[in-house]
Amino acid sequence: MSSRIEQIIEEIEEYVDSCKFQPLSTTKIVVNKEEIDELLRELRLKTPDEIKRYQKIISNKDAILEDAQVKADSLIADAQAKAQELVTQHEIMQKAYAQANETINAANKQAQEILDSATQDANSIRLSAITYTDDMMANIGAVLNQTLEDAGGKYKGFIEALQACLEVVNHNRQELAPQTAQAAAMSGTYHEEPEAADDDTMLDELGEN
């Protein structure tokens, strides 16, 4: 919507365009002084009001711009604060993640150390048990071997003693045999004595018993 000043200016322009040129001139025109004065007078009257209105508009525009600038600055400050808060939260989260990873790594390392120690202890106990069992079996084997050697020696000595006794008995019987035959012949009751058993047969029978 145009102002009254703009309308008056347009009317002046239209009025000037409608005026006729002076004779023998293409630049000068003939105007009605009263009509043009009326238009100029109204223009002068309207100019202060229009100027005030424009000043008010400009003032309001400045106020609007200032308010918009304040709001923009506030929005920018809020955005910066929010961005800083997000950065801070991100840094906190990164620190939290780092600490969590360190805790997890430390726990895994400790668990692995415990597992390795337990495995080493188990292997050591197993090796000790095997060594102990082997030593014990070696001792038992040594005792059994010694027992077998001792028993074999005693048994051999016993057999040799028996064999010596048997030889003495057989020898004595052989010496008594002529006298026994003579006495039996004289008494008429001679009986043939059985031959002495073979020494090896008797020893085998003793061994079996």
Give the C-alpha separation, 80 to 31, whole Å. Answer: 67
pLDDT score, position 209: 55
Higher per-residue confidence, 128 vs 28: 28
Sort 41 into a burial class: Cβ within 10 Å, 0-12 / 13-18 / 19+: exposed
pLDDT score, position 112: 92
The two three-digit tokens of residue 58, written as one number: 């400009």
List, in sequence order, every beta strand (DSSP E) within the chain: 20-21, 29-30
Q: What is the DSSP letter of 26?
A: S
Least confident of 18-32, 165-179, 192-206: 192-206
Higher per-residue confidence, 105 vs 187: 105
Residue of 10, 6, 5, 32 lying closest to 19 (CA atoms): 32
Mean pLDDT of 142-171: 83
Least confident of 82-86, 126-130, 161-165: 126-130
pLDDT score, position 38: 92
Q: What is the DSSP letter of 193?
A: P
| Residue 10 confidence class, pLDDT cut points 50, 70, 90 | very high
Mean pLDDT of 23-31: 87
Highest mean pLDDT among 54-63, 99-108, 137-146: 99-108
Give the C-alpha separation, 37 to 55, whole Å. Answer: 27
CB atoms within 10 A of CB 42: 16
Query: What is the DSSP secondary-structure string of 88-132?
Result: HHHHHHHHHHHHHHHHHHHHHHHHHHHHHHHHHHHHHHHHHHHHH
- 52 with 10: CB under 8 angstroms? no
